[in-house]
Amino acid sequence: MITRKVSRLNCKVKVLLIVRDQVELLDTLYRKYIKEGGTSPLEELLHNQSAHKSKLDLSNFRFASLAREYETYFCPENVLVLDYAKFSILV
């Protein structure tokens, strides 16, 4: 994974991980899928991901695991996780 490679190159990396509510993110991605011409119901995409090569791969929604992985490679004090909903208010 790229995380390992980056950690070998620079030990002073700071990571900013902005996470979004998974349900809201899934809704947004599904709406984009439909807008781009997709026709499968959401339930079908979620239950038959390999057949659709879906962008809605639920393994991409494991933000806590991702944050822990970053902390392993870059140290917890170098990883900041922000909630998208709170962050977007500031922008």
Supply the Cα-derived Rg of the chain in whole angstroms: 16
| Cα–Cα distance list, 58 to 13, 23, 67, 91 (Å) | 27, 11, 16, 28
pLDDT digits (tens, 9 = 90+) for 4-35: 777 776 667 889 999 999 899 889 889 998 99
* Structure tokens given for 26: 């899934």
Residues 71 and 80: their CA atoms lie apart, in Å, by: 9
Residue with token string 């929604």: 61
For 37-59, write each residue's pLDDT tens digit: 988 898 888 887 665 565 677 77
